[in-house]
Amino acid sequence: MRLVLVGPPGAGKGTQAQFLASHFSIPHISTGDIFRANLKSGTALGLKAKTFMDAGELVPDSVTNEMVADRLTHADAEAGFLLDGFPRNVAQAQVLREILAQKSTPLTAVLELAVDTKEIVLRLSGRRTCRNCGKVWHIEFEKPSTENLCDACSGDLYQREDDKGEVISHRLQVYAEQTEPIIAFYKSEGLLITISATGSVSEITARAISALSN
Ligand code: AMP
Domain limits, the chain: 2-27+74-112+164-213
With a cut of 90, say whether residue 181 has pLDDT above it. Answer: yes
82 to 69, 155, 183, 204: CA distances (angstroms)? 14, 27, 17, 16
Asked if 71 contacts 34 with a C-beta cutoff of 8 angstroms, the reply is: yes
Asked if 182 contacts 166 with a C-beta cutoff of 8 angstroms, the reply is: no
| Cβ of 93 less than 6 Å from ligand 1 | no
- pTM of whole model > 0.85? yes
Task: Outline where 55-156 has alpha helix (H).
Answer: 61-71, 90-102, 117-125
Q: Give the residue numbers marked as catalytic.
A: 13, 88, 127, 160, 171
| Cβ of 82 less than 6 Å from ligand 1 | no
CATH of the domain spanning 2-27+74-112+164-213, picked from 2.60.120.620, 3.40.50.12780, 3.40.50.300, 3.10.290.20: 3.40.50.300
Residues 98-155 have pLDDT tens digits of: 999 999 999 999 999 999 888 999 999 999 999 999 899 999 989 999 999 999 999 9
Q: Could you tell me where the beta strands, DSSP code E, fall in the chain?
A: 2-6, 28-30, 81-84, 109-114, 127-130, 136-138, 157-158, 192-196
Q: Comparing C-alpha atoms, which of 27, 9, 32 is closest to residue 119?
A: 9
State the distance from the centre of ligand 1 to the C-alpha of 208, rounded, in angstroms.
22
State the distance from the centre of ligand 1 to the C-alpha of 58, rounded, in angstroms.
6
Q: Comparing C-alpha atoms, which of 132, 120, 80, 134 is closest to residue 103?
A: 80
The pLDDT mean for the chain works out to: 95
State the distance from the centre of ligand 1 to the C-alpha of 35, rounded, in angstroms.
8
